[in-house]
């Protein structure tokens, strides 16, 4: 299916009072464009490639900035409004910069019953930032309170960047994980 080329958008906020931060990168790399084209070729409608293209954008741009969304629309030749709608619906697309290690704590019911709120508090104390506050001063950490991570039987559950800890995370385990991050033993957010 053909879609009209996205219109040139203004810098208008997405919602009243909301203005997204800019990212340093404005365009996809040639490799990312090839990756997106290969994904889009699998579908009869390019709109179907929006989600994977946004993941690639998040990886390349560091977060799902307005420029990243525009680049996705341009790469797929689909309306920018569609990309904005998809990106703003899913919380997994970070619309604000995050730290090198984005610590996501589940506080849904099963995790709440086994100490999710307490784990979130400990994570915030150690990271030195509150949920949604953006990266810590050293750029290492950011924290997010998230919905169910699909590991309800072994919570409270923690996800570091794209890796879920589906095992009980107590203070000792949390310290181990954060120390390992500092030693560079974990994949960084945008790599």
Residues forming contacts to ligand FES in the complex (CB under 6 A) are: 106, 108-111, 148-152, 155, 157
Nearer to ligand FES, 140 or 152 (CB): 152
CB of 94 to ligand FES, least distance (A): 19
Question: Is 97 in contact with 134 (CB distance < 8 Å)?
Answer: yes
Residue 82 corresponds to which tokens in the numbers above?
A: 């569609």
Least Å distance between CB 158 and ligand FES? 10
The H or E element containing residue 74 is helix 66-76
CB 120, min distance to ligand FES, A: 11
Nearest to ligand FES of 92, 152 (CB atom): 152
Q: Is the Cβ of residue 86 or residue 120 nearer to ligand FES in the bound state? A: 120
Output Rg (C-alpha) for the chain, integer angstroms.
18
Say how far apart CA 176 and CA 170 lie, in whole Å: 10
Q: Residue 145 CB, nearest distance to ligand FES (Å)? A: 11
Task: Name the one residue in this structure whose structure tokens are 């996205």.
Answer: 6
Identity of the residue, 111 or 178, whose beta carbon is nearer to ligand FES in the bound complex = 111
In degrees, rounded to 5, the angle at the alpha carbon of residue 99 between the alpha carbons of residues 97 and 103 is: 115
- Whose Cβ is closer to ligand FES: residue 36's or residue 149's? 149
Residue 151 CB, shortest distance to ligand FES, in Å, is 5
Asked if residue 160 lies in contact with residue 177, where contact means CB atoms within 8 angstroms, the answer is: yes
Nearest-angstrom CA–CA distance, 95 and 24: 14
Residue 164 bridge partners (DSSP):
159
């Amino acid at each position: 299916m053909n879609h009209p080329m996205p219109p040139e958008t203004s810098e208008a906020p997405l919602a009243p009072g909301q203005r997204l931060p800019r990212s340093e990168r404005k365009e996809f790399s040639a490799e990312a464009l090839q990756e997106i084209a290969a994904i889009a070729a699998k579908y009869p409608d390019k709109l179907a490639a929006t989600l994977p293209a946004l993941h690639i954008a998040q990886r390349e741009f560091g977060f799902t900035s307005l420029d990243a969304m525009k680049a996705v629309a341009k790469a797929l030749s689909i309306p920018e409004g569609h990309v904005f709608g998809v990106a703003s619906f899913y919380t997994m697309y970070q619309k604000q910069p995050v730290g090198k290690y984005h610590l996501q704590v589940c506080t849904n019911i099963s995790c709440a019953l086994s100490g999710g709120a307490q784990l979130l508090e400990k994570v915030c104390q150690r990271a030195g930032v509150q949920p949604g506050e953006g990266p810590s001063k050293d750029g290492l950490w950011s924290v997010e309170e998230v919905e169910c991570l699909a590991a309800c039987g072994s919570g409270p559950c923690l996800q570091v960047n794209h890796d879920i800890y589906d095992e009980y995370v107590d203070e000792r385990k949390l310290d181990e994980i954060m120390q390992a991050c500092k030693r560079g033993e974990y994949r960084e957010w945008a790599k």
